[in-house]
Amino acid sequence: MRICTKCTMAFMGANPNSYISLTCNINKLENNLKLLFSTPPPSSLFSSKLRSITRKASIFTRSVAENDVVTSQVEVPSSNSITKHHQSPFSGLEEVMTGYMFGKKKATEVAHAVWKNVVRKGDLVIDATCGNGYDTLALLRLIADDACRGRVFAMDLQKDALESTSSLLDRSVTADEKKQVELYSMCHTRMEELVPKGDAVRLVAFNLGYLPGGDKKIKTESETTLLALDAAKKIVAPGGLISILAYVGHSGGREEFEKVQSFAAELPIDNWVCCKLQMLNRPLAPVLVLLSKNK
Amino acid sequence: MRICTKCTMAFMGANPNSYISLTCNINKLENNLKLLFSTPPPSSLFSSKLRSITRKASIFTRSVAENDVVTSQVEVPSSNSITKHHQSPFSGLEEVMTGYMFGKKKATEVAHAVWKNVVRKGDLVIDATCGNGYDTLALLRLIADDACRGRVFAMDLQKDALESTSSLLDRSVTADEKKQVELYSMCHTRMEELVPKGDAVRLVAFNLGYLPGGDKKIKTESETTLLALDAAKKIVAPGGLISILAYVGHSGGREEFEKVQSFAAELPIDNWVCCKLQMLNRPLAPVLVLLSKNK
């Protein structure tokens, strides 16, 4: 495998005259575009759309890497974090939503793609039900920055869950990155206690039900879930999100989902936009509930 | 206003040394990327992702044109259809979904953004309830191509609706483009009669309820809506979509929505993926129901 001389990322093409990675090509385009709009920049729209183009290109790079030429990005020696970030499991919401509509993507993936549009590097976020750690890891990848300003508070009542999460993080991120996650063996109804006064929480994520692979009798319960949602409502910042993936296939699951739905229905429309994405001909499929707090 | 010497589109920058439009810059990037992956192309993923990047860039061009420097694209003389396509009302699904979550975008806009990911130039699509023509126009912009292969069959029982749609098209598209729309004053339960045998229908769009600005007593009814859905189910091609925007605020609206929901719930999971996007704390907000037929 050849390496781009500019950024040390894998060069994935077959043209022997061009040893420049796609990322570098995109950077070149960015510079061209910046030049084109040199004085004055048209608006902040410019930078946000440019980010969008670059993000798409980044997803593309990753997809090609995962599916085609490069089998594993970790083969590439790198002293910076570019390579690591390309291991992120995130896809764009457009791609994921279309996939969900055609049964190719799961509600979890939609949730992750939604988070990507809300959470920024350096944010404080809470995983209220860390389970086996996949959401914690996904959130870490969104908030992690070199300055280590971001924080993921990951909570679970079950020690197995915290150990599983810790182990997943050990296998997936550097020790420095892992430091940005704080694991708490406590009930998520107490999440307010974790947040330093005045700190803004961008996202609280709930993945309800039982621990996959664990004891199915130990699961989130309607009463405590509602208390935890009430806590989340208080601490989430304007422009932030409470994301709930509700499972309706297990005993008590549908009742819990109905409670979550009623909670959402009562949130005032002046401050909250509450919506759900639900399968209609798969009655046991999880339902994604999104509670967005207005700015 | 200056014009790009390559494509006659507006040059929107302020750099006096560069009279090249953003579209031309994007084309240049495309060529660079194609070169990068010259032999062999990594996969079909490449072209689809590239289209995605280009589409994003195109949205960006349009957004800048609409919001910042150029007040109206029709000022630009053009002998081809590039300028016209830049007037399209479509945004990307990522942007629209995030907007919907935060109350900035409507369910109609989500529907349009979803269609954009399903419908292709030259497709045959049906607007089952053309109303004032906004969906017909949106569909036309997705299917219209220079070869005039695409068709929108737009149906409505009310002559006012067809006249309103015709008038909107007159104001919005060229006579040649309008020819790709066929208006039918008939009940949408009869849509099968319109489709030539063997032709694939990519999308059937329903916007239920009454004609905005018209007589609110004349509206779609559960019984005929179900018959029309049954017809749509038969004619939509694999990989195609039935898109229903159901209004629940008017008399009979909720009952109609429940019927649509039951219809969707009964579609076999082997062939169909049926989902809905619904507000939870705005009980009268329209609900988007998407029925996707597996390939």
pLDDT tens digit sequence for B275-284: 999 999 999 9
A 111-170 residues inside an 8 A Cβ radius of B:
113-114, 117-118
**pTM to 2 decimals?**
0.71
- Of residues A10 and A179, the one with the higher pLDDT is A179
Predicted local distance difference test score (pLDDT) of residue A14: 41
- Best to test chain B binding among A23, A94, A258 (most B CBs inside 10 Å): A94
Predicted local distance difference test score (pLDDT) of residue A60: 37
B 194-253 residues inside an 8 A Cβ radius of A:
239, 241
B 48-87 residues inside an 8 A Cβ radius of A:
49-50, 52-53, 56-57, 59-60, 63-64, 67-69
Which residues, 6 or more positions from A199, have their beta carbon under 8 angstroms from its beta carbon? A124
Predicted local distance difference test score (pLDDT) of residue A216: 85
Tens-place pLDDT, residues B158-170: 999 999 999 999 9
Predicted local distance difference test score (pLDDT) of residue A55: 44
Tens-place pLDDT, residues A170-208: 999 999 999 999 999 999 999 999 999 989 999 999 999
C-alpha pair distances (Å), B266 with each of A98, A282, B244, B286, B295: 22, 9, 16, 21, 19
CB contact under 8 Å between A42 and B64, yes or no, is: yes
Predicted local distance difference test score (pLDDT) of residue B51: 45
Return the H-helix or E-strand segment holding A80.
none
Predicted local distance difference test score (pLDDT) of residue B33: 46
Rounded to the nearest angstrom, the minimum Cα separation between A258 and chain B is: 11
pLDDT-based confidence at B199, cuts 50/70/90?
very high
- Of residues B70 and B113, the one with the higher pLDDT is B113
Q: From B130, B227, B122, select the one nearest B169 (Cα to Cα).
A: B130
Distance CA A83, CA A8 (A): 9
Assess whether pLDDT exceeds 50 at residue B104.
yes
Q: Which residue of A has its CA nearest to B238?
A: A102
> Which among A56, A102, A266 is the nearest to B56, CB-wise?
A56
Distance CA B179, CA B43 (A): 37
> Which among B35, B63, B277 is the nearest to A277, CB-wise?
B277
Predicted local distance difference test score (pLDDT) of residue A217: 85
Structure token digits, residue A73: 């990005």
Residue-averaged pLDDT of chain A: 78
pLDDT-based confidence at B135, cuts 50/70/90?
very high
- Of residues A40 and A167, the one with the higher pLDDT is A167
> Which among B26, B64, B97 is the nearest to A45, CB-wise?
B64
> Residue A43 burial by CB count (10 A; 0-12/13-18/19+): exposed, middle or buried?
middle
CB contact under 8 Å between B14 and A52, yes or no, is: no
Which 8-state DSSP code applies to residue A250? S
Rounded to the nearest angstrom, the minimum Cα separation between B238 and chain A is: 11
Residues of chain A positioned with their CB less than 8 A from the CB of B40: 14
Assess whether pLDDT exceeds 70 at residue A54.
no
Across residues B96-104, what is the average pLDDT? 95
> Which among B101, B117, B269 is the nearest to A98, CB-wise?
B117
Q: Which of A100-109, A207-216, B150-159 shows the lowest per-residue confidence on average (mean pLDDT)?
A: A207-216
Structure token digits, residue A150: 């971001």
C-alpha pair distances (Å), A60 with each of A53, A139, A277, B33: 11, 21, 26, 12
Distance CA B221, CA B244 (A): 14
Tens-place pLDDT, residues A232-282: 999 999 999 999 999 999 999 999 999 999 999 999 999 999 999 999 999
Q: Which residues pair with B242 in a beta bridge?
A: B204, B291
B 5-34 residues inside an 8 A Cβ radius of A:
12-15, 18, 20, 22, 25-26, 28-29, 32-33
Predicted local distance difference test score (pLDDT) of residue A47: 44
Assess whether pLDDT exceeds 60 at residue B293.
yes
pLDDT-based confidence at B217, cuts 50/70/90?
confident
As a residue count, chain A comes to 295
- Best to test chain B binding among A50, A66, A102, A284 (most B CBs inside 10 Å): A102
Predicted local distance difference test score (pLDDT) of residue A4: 43
- Best to test chain B binding among A48, A101, A257 (most B CBs inside 10 Å): A101
Predicted local distance difference test score (pLDDT) of residue A211: 84
Residue-averaged pLDDT of chain B: 78
Residues of chain A positioned with their CB less than 8 A from the CB of B32: 25, 28-29
Predicted local distance difference test score (pLDDT) of residue A210: 85
Farthest-apart Cα atoms in chain A, separation = 64
- Best to test chain A binding among B11, B52, B58, B94 (most A CBs inside 10 Å): B94
Distance CA B245, CA B20 (A): 41
Q: Which of A116-125, A153-162, A209-218 shows the lowest per-residue confidence on average (mean pLDDT)?
A: A209-218
CB contact under 8 Å between A94 and B93, yes or no, is: yes
Across residues A100-124, what is the average pLDDT? 96
HEC string of chain B equals: CEECCCCCCEECCCCCCCCCCHHHHHHHHHHHHHHHCCCCCCCHHHHHHHHHHHHHHHHHHHHHHHHCCCCCHHHCCCCCCHHHHCCCCCCCHHHHHHHHHCCCCCHHHHHHHHHHCCCCCCCEEEECCCCCCHHHHHHHHHHCCCCCCCEEEEECCCHHHHHHHHHHHHHHCCHHHHCCEEEECCCHHHHHHHCCCCCCEEEEEEECCECCCCCCCCECCHHHHHHHHHHHHHHEEEEEEEEEEECCCCCCHHHHHHHHHHHHHCCCCCCEEEEEEEECCCCCCCEEEEEEECC
Residues of chain B positioned with their CB less than 8 A from the CB of A264: 280-281
Assess whether pLDDT exceeds 90 at residue B210.
no
Residue B41's identity, in one-letter code, is: P
Predicted local distance difference test score (pLDDT) of residue A91: 66
Predicted local distance difference test score (pLDDT) of residue A187: 95
pLDDT-based confidence at B212, cuts 50/70/90?
confident
pLDDT-based confidence at A7, cuts 50/70/90?
very low
Tens-place pLDDT, residues B31-71: 544 444 443 333 443 444 444 444 444 433 333 333 322 22
CB contact under 8 Å between B40 and A102, yes or no, is: no
Residues of chain A positioned with their CB less than 8 A from the CB of B26: 29
- Of residues A37 and A120, the one with the higher pLDDT is A120
Q: Do residues A202 and A241 touch, judged by C-beta distance below 8 A?
A: yes
Q: Do residues B229 and B263 touch, judged by C-beta distance below 8 A?
A: yes
Which region holds residue A209: left if phi is over 0, alpha if psi is between -120 and 50, else beta? left
Assess whether pLDDT exceeds 50 at residue A15.
no
Q: Which residues pair with A273 in a beta bridge?
A: A292
Across residues B118-135, what is the average pLDDT? 96
pLDDT-based confidence at A24, cuts 50/70/90?
very low
> Is A292 near chain B, with CB under 8 Å?
yes
CB contact under 8 Å between A46 and B64, yes or no, is: yes
- Best to test chain A binding among B56, B90, B104, B114 (most A CBs inside 10 Å): B56
